[in-house]
Amino acid sequence: MNKNLNNVYDALVIGAGFSGLYQLHRLRDDLGLKVAVIEKGADVGGTWYWNRYPGARCDSESQGYAYFFSRKLHENWQWSERYPGHNEIRKYLNYVTDSLNLRKDIFFNKTVSKCSFSEDAKLWEIQTENGDARYCKWLITAVGCLSAANVPNIQGLSRFEGQWYHTGKWPHYDIDFKGLRVGQIGTGSTGIQAAPEIAKTCEHLTVFQRTPNYSIPARNSEWDALYTDWVRSHYEELKALVRSTPNGHPFRISNNLTMEVSEAERQKMFEAAWSDGGLRFRGVFLDLLTSQTANSAAADFIKSKIRQKVTDPATADILTNIDHPYAAKRPPIDTHYFETFNKDHVTLVDLQADPIAEIVQNGITLESGTHHELDVIVFATGYDAMTGPLLNLNIETAKASLKSYWGGGPRNYLGLAIPGFPNLFTITGPGSPSVLSNMPVSIEQHVDWITECIAHCLETGCTSIEAQEQSAEIWTDHVRETADATLLPKVKHSWYLGANIPGKPRVFMPYAGGLNIYRKICDNIAEEGYKGFDLISDKTHVISKPLDFKPSEGFMFGV
């Protein structure tokens, strides 16, 4: 180790998105620690630094997609639309960065290549691809759940003579699609946002659909001055709301059960939710994700709406040939997605009927031999979600690597800490509500918990904290059982299960018990002296807190 005073830190944070920025602020400004952030990109933003594809916009509503730790930050910021666009989110994160003077403690353009723990020095060594190394006692990953882009291994891509892009690594300049024939692979939340925008300017758009998807109209609109004033002056109410809902969104999930209202009433309620638009649709009934009958009612309603929008019945058939429960895959929301297929220059290709055989110099050829000539291919093909960004850090100790420990799928305690990896915390790791919730709200909860945990260690002279193996076993079982109580694991082709990545263990990754319940569990564990963790003091006295809690005293599902 080539350590000197300059490259040894109390804490290092990897990633400068929503989580890394807030974690830096809390550890540096509240605990007074020497902290730095190591960031791959050239600026702050995390997910939003990379996701600049046409139509990139957050599906969470603006009034809830923000930090709530500071009234001042809240009151001095103004969103312009119901859903924040990617440019505006970057502007917001830059505003927060500058307001809190965070930039001076961020190293940009540095990709972490390895994190190794030295048992002797009790320090993490963080190496980057540039060849430098930094050391810290506390290591916090803030790498996001959806940052490892997945470009599928389709034969022939290297031969393609046009341009190709992945939505999650979009160039930082405008691409002019005028006069170009574009092929888009993927119809998840991203593809559903991108297709209508690309279709506005390209000569021809061909959408290659493997799995059709439900989507609810977003009904985006500009905020008027009255609403802006309302949001600014209702900071406490909004904060209390997002922190109390199971999904962290600024709306409540109804207590109504789908089949306990009459058919007429049910249709009226679906219609009202459809008109309202966005992820709120999921909240119209309590049991949409726990009852197949309830879910089928919602699914039938949405399919009938898609049919009304799409003029060609054969195209409508392909778009509505959906075999999974509504919202069991991440439910997209859209602006004129289905209507895009009514345009003469937009073609839908059903890959279930005719899969891609190969990519050739001038386009994509299907197994039937049908060929689509293309100038551009857009991969809206998602991510090696949740575990991918963490495994890419090559985290290891002398005894184990994270890759080997997670060989059978992620295993940790609260999604926050991993046995055998001391003083390491994973913000929004697998096993936490993360992608089933409004991310900034989940992020604040994690960062606050980690900060209080480190403060506790500093106050009590504890030099090392590590999740117990038994805690990880109980928590991992609880995450699985909670998901099994819903329709979520019924979708076999879902990235929640890792099914989109060849060879990835099929394990349901996010915690489906609801952010509000999860928050209580985490708080109780902290209040009881970090139950389920081993805390080791300077004198190597082990203060072990055996885990005896039963995590599932409640259950509520959040989107």
- Of residues 171-190, which lie at the interface with ligand N01 (CB under 6 A)? 185-190
Which residues make beta-bridge pairs with 116?
125, 396
Q: How far is the CB of 557 from ligand N01 (least distance, A)?
A: 16
Residue 554 CA, chain-centre distance (Å), reads 24
Helices marked H in 146-212 — which ranges? 189-199
User: In this complex, which beta carbon is closest to ligand N01, that of residue 152 or of residue 162?
Assistant: 152
Decide whether 326 or 495 has the Cβ nearer to ligand N01: 495
Q: Which position among 382, 389, 513, 558 is part of the footprint of ligand N01 (CB under 6 A)?
A: 382
Task: Please say whether the beta carbons of 274 and 217 come within 8 A.
Answer: yes
> What DSSP string runs through 235-296?
HHHHHHHHHHSTTSSSSPPP---GGGS-HHHHHHHHHHHHHH-GGGGGGSSTTTTT-HHHHH
Give min distance, CB of 208 to ligand N01, in A: 6
Shortest Å distance, C-beta 192 to ligand N01: 7
Please give the residues from 383 up to 422 whose contact with ligand N01 meets the rule CB under 6 A. 383
d(CA 496, CA 483): 10
Q: Which of residues 123-152 bind ligand N01 (CB under 6 A)?
A: 146, 152
Q: Which stretch binds ligand N01 (CB under 6 A): 107-115, 130-138, 379-387, 411-419?
A: 379-387
Residue 51 CB, nearest distance to ligand N01 (Å)? 7
Residue with tokens 């691409």: 175
- In the complex with ligand N01, the residue whose CB is nearer, 200 or 493, is 493
Encoded one letter per residue, x for contact with ligand N01 by CB under 6 A and - for no contact, window 348-367 reads ---x----x-----------
Amino acid at 18: F
The DSSP call for residue 211 is S
Q: Considering beta carbons, is residue 145 or 521 the nearer one to ligand N01?
A: 145
Pick from 23, 63, 211, 423 the residue near ligand N01 by CB under 6 A.
211
The residue within the footprint of ligand N01, chosen from 12, 22, 23, 59 (CB under 6 A), is 59
Number of Cβ within 10 Å of residue 72's Cβ equals: 9
Q: Are 348 and 209 in contact (CB under 8 A)?
A: yes
Pattern 425-444, ligand N01, x by CB under 6 A: ----------x---------
Q: Is 107 exposed, middle or buried (CB count within 10 Å of its CB: 0-12, 13-18, 19+)? A: middle
In contact, 231 and 92? CB cutoff 8 Å? no
Q: Do the Cβ atoms of 474 and 533 come closer than 8 Å?
A: no
Structure tokens at 501: 């990545």
Examine residue 85 and tell whether it contacts ligand N01 (CB under 6 A).
no
CA distance 332 to 282: 11
Supply the minimum distance, in Å, between the C-beta of residue 12 and ligand N01: 26
Closest contact distance (angstroms) between CB of 145 and ligand N01 is: 8
Q: Does 191 bind ligand N01 (CB under 6 A)?
A: yes
In the bound complex, what is the minimum distance in angstroms from residue 249's beta carbon to ligand N01? 11
Minimum CB separation of residue 193 from ligand N01 in Å reads 6
Residues 39-58 close enough to bind ligand N01 by CB under 6 A: 58
| CA 440 – CA 436 distance, rounded (Å) | 12
Least distance in Å: CB of 152 to ligand N01? 3
Residue with tokens 């609403």: 227
Q: How many residues bind ligand N01 (CB under 6 A)?
A: 27
- Contact with ligand N01 (CB under 6 A): which of 330, 372, 411, 504? 330
Cα–Cα dist 242/60, whole Å? 11
* Nearest residue (CB) to ligand N01, 363 versus 551: 363
Nearer to ligand N01, 87 or 101 (CB): 87
Cα gap 149→166, rounded to integer Å: 7
Beta carbon nearer to ligand N01, 378 or 417? 378
380 binds ligand N01 (CB under 6 A): yes
Compute the least distance from the CB of residue 335 to ligand N01, in Å.
Answer: 12
Rounded to the nearest whole angstrom, what is the least distance from the CB of residue 454 to ligand N01 in the complex?
Answer: 29
The one segment of 203-211, 264-272, 461-469, 544-552 that binds ligand N01 by CB under 6 A: 203-211
Interaction mask 19-38, ligand N01, x per CB under 6 A: --------------------
Strands 542-544 and 346-350: unpaired
The least CB distance from residue 494 to ligand N01, in Å, is: 8
Residues contacting residue 219 through CB under 8 Å, at least 6 positions apart: 82, 275, 276, 277, 278
Q: Which window, 196-204, 234-242, 246-254, 380-388, contacts ligand N01 (CB under 6 A)? A: 380-388
Sequence letter at residue 426: T
Tell me the pairing of strands 216-217 and 333-334. Answer: parallel
Q: Which of residues 482-511 bind ligand N01 (CB under 6 A)?
A: 493, 495, 500
Q: Among residues 359, 389, 390, 391, which one has the least CA distance to residue 372?
A: 359
Nearer to ligand N01, 257 or 351 (CB): 351
- Dihedral of alpha carbons 201, 205, 208, 212, sign: positive
Rg of the chain, C-alpha, whole Å: 24
- Minimum CB separation of residue 113 from ligand N01 in Å reads 25
Where do contacts with ligand N01 occur on this chain (CB under 6 A)? 58-59, 146, 152, 154, 185-191, 193, 208, 210-211, 330, 351, 356, 380-383, 435, 493, 495, 500
